[in-house]
Chain A
Amino acid sequence: MRADHDDAHQWLDADAGPLVRAYAVTGGRARPGAGLFDLVTYVVAAPAGQRRNAVHLQPEHRALLEHAREPISVAELTSRAGFALGVVRVLLADLLDEGAVIRMAPAVAPGHVPDDDILQAVILGLRHA
């Protein structure tokens, strides 16, 4: 452990291994755009019986499934897995193809302002939590 570590560069020490390996798994493949897996899109691992060719999954895919036992946003999944966002999107696209992950419908259609009662609840929550 370096005594004088620089916070801004911590990821290089802590995560370079998994990051580099994840790049190797997804290397050279087309990156799905943000459309399919927005940062606030929720995903969840499909029940085992629903999956198709689980045998093709790499450890990185399985790591994502572990983190997605309960519905989780793409942003949080990315953060927990420690991979880069673009890598997570590639892996999620694979998992979607395999039927191993479910992309959940958002509570509010993208680009729409939530109902006013929700916004009011958020304001109350921000002031009193």
Chain B
Amino acid sequence: MRDDRARSVPTAIKILVAGGFGAGKTTMVGTVSEILPLHTEEVLTSASTHSDDLSGVEAKRTTTVTMDFGRITIGDSAVLYLFGTPGQDRFWFLWDELAIGALGAVVLADTRRLADSFPSIDYFERRRVPFVVAVNCFHGNQQFEIPAVRNALSLDPDVPVVLCDARDRRSGREVLVTLIEHVRALTLGQAHTAVGTPG
């Protein structure tokens, strides 16, 4: 049954912000957008009832996971929805629904713990979700580290790797621009079947 009045909704663009524990996901979602809390939920299994988060509320069978959620409105026509995905393995089920229809993902990487970003990268590669790797500058300029990061993460040559400071709005938004440019390039590449020439 449809509403009689012609109503249009903006183009909703779903972007995921992933990365290892403490990589800066919450910081980035918060600096680039208006951040809102989003309670998702998890039905506890016996395996997770000993979780320290829940001491004192053992009687509760369902608990909530609060996900980072941010929104950027672009004029009347488009809205970006950013979702910071919880890093722990037991939340993979949340990723599966987030990945559906996502335009792409930002994988935040901390050079001190690069291996922490493997699971996210692996996940997006297998799901064919376009992604960029953003190296979060926790300790000064890391320009020289980009090739090393690319190498250590065995990234396809066309996956963009950029530096960012998740605390800086302009820097965070430029990462999103990189992602959208990457998606555009992939889309055009598919249309013309000319793949493999980055940049």
Contact = CB atoms under 8 A, between A and B. Distances in A.
Contact of A102 (B2, B62, B64, B174): B2
A42 B40 contact: no
Given A40-B101, A102-B3, 5 more contacts: A44-B7, A79-B37, A108-B11, A113-B183, A126-B74
- Interface range for B: 35 or more
Interface of A: 9, 11-12, 15, 19-20, 23, 34, 38-40, 42, 44, 46-47, 50, 71, 73, 75-76, 78-80, 82-87, 99, 102, 104-108, 110-111, 113-114, 116, 118-119, 121-123, 125-127, 129
A42 B78 CA distance: 13
A42 B41 contact: no
Contacts of A111: 100-101
B3 A75 contact: no
Given A34-B100, A79-B69, A114-B11, A87 B78 contact: no
- The secondary-structure label for the interface of chain B is mixed
A40 B39 contact: no
Interface in B47-100: 53, 57, 60, 62, 64, 66, 69, 71-72, 74-75, 77-81, 83, 97-98, 100
B162 to A, nearest CB: 14
B137 interface: no
B41 A11 contact: no
